[in-house]
Amino acid sequence: MLNYEYFRCIHRQEAREFAIEHIEPAAETYYESGKYPWEVLEAGMSANLVAQDIAEEYGGRGFDLPQTLAIYEELYRADASIALTLQLASFGTDIIYKHGTAEQNERYVRPVAENEQITGLAVSEPDSGSDLAGMTTTAEKDGDEWILNGEKYWVGNAVEADWLTLYAKTGDGDTRYDDYSLFILPTDASGYTVEHIPEKMAYRASKQGHITLNQCRIPDSHLIGDVGDGFEIVTEFFNHGRVDVAGHGLGLAAAAIEEASQFVHNREAWDQQVSDFQAVKHDLAEMRMELESARALTWRAAKHVTENNNPGYWAALAKTTATEAAVNCAESAMQLYGGRSVLKENKISRIYRDVRVPVIYEGANNIQRDLIYKQADWS
């Protein structure tokens, strides 16, 4: 049996060293320019920190959920938008590995693991995000092909990727949850058009796209798993993903605490160090309490999700708690930092913007509260 504590320690250190060398020095530049951080992504590939959650049999390092959680916590601690770019390079490949054919894995997953291609996941739409059974993009069977029509929104790497994992409606049955399926969608397919979503106030180095599918044809061999299994597969995928997003929150909360601590320990007011005021000490203590509480819950959730023990409940708990801890820590840090907190040159201003994003993606936190209530044991 693998000693996961040992591996988590090694991979966390790998990620931290990479973040210090490659992410932190570039973060402000990419925030200002809003450009896709190809150079950092390529460095991450060289460091074997990109797409390495893919199984070893297809060229990856086979990182499990606790290992990716440790890595993401360190990368997001350095800069959320660059970290998301590194993460999204292989986003969705786990779906093909678990539910696709050996041929699909060799043709599409292996090149991503070997850093020859990048990919993404197309689920959300302009008028629907958290409601997985409310998507309207369709896939209609036509002989040995599928015809795709509709729109997808907030798709990471929609412009940059070589192919995407697409979630589309394939039925109109009595049970809305059985109407969806998953497909491999090459981005050079006829009928696929895409544009970058306009500039955002946060996560500026991470690029999302708006896709339009107009009579877009793909072969039947691009169906992943069985027709009608899409909702269940994506739900399982997001249970793991939400624990990773909790790691995003932990990294951002840690970064906010670091910025606030450094500032108050190096500033004087009324002839004493700002950190000597009791109210400031209490604020810092509260921030650490939130971080450590969220971290303990997240790691507990990682264990339960890995063991398939009520995974939806634990994933929702962790995602909501950790991302909201990041929001609270960032707001406290801004207050402690004072007037300089609003200057774009200071990292805390980027953190403050970035923490507003993870509370929304992979299921908005109000939706997570619904899931927590529905899946909790109230007996």
Catalytic positions: 362
Question: In the chain, where does DSSP find H-type helix?
Answer: 4-18, 27-33, 38-46, 65-78, 80-88, 93-99, 102-104, 110-113, 230-264, 278-306, 311-337, 347-354, 365-375
Which amino acid is residue 208, in one-letter code?
Q
Instruction: Quote the DSSP letter at residue 128.
Output: B
Whether the CB-CB separation of 315 and 240 falls below 8 Å is answered with: yes
For residue 340 the two structure tokens come to: 């300089």
- In angstroms, the Cα distances linking 299 to 53, 122, 164, 275, 286 are 18, 28, 30, 31, 20
Q: List Cβ neighbours of 368 (8 Å cut-off, separation of 6 or more).
A: 242, 316, 317, 319, 320
Which residue's structure tokens are 């409606």?
A: 169
Whether the CB-CB separation of 74 and 16 falls below 8 Å is answered with: yes
**Sign of the C-alpha dihedral, residues 20, 26, 32, 34?**
negative
Neighbour count for residue 357 (Cβ, 10 Å) = 21
Using CA atoms, how far apart are residues 204 and 280, in angstroms rounded to an integer?
A: 31
Nearest by Cα to 59 from 98, 110, 102 = 110
Whether the CB-CB separation of 118 and 131 falls below 8 Å is answered with: no
Which residue's structure tokens are 């890595």?
A: 71
Which amino acid is residue 296, in one-letter code?
A
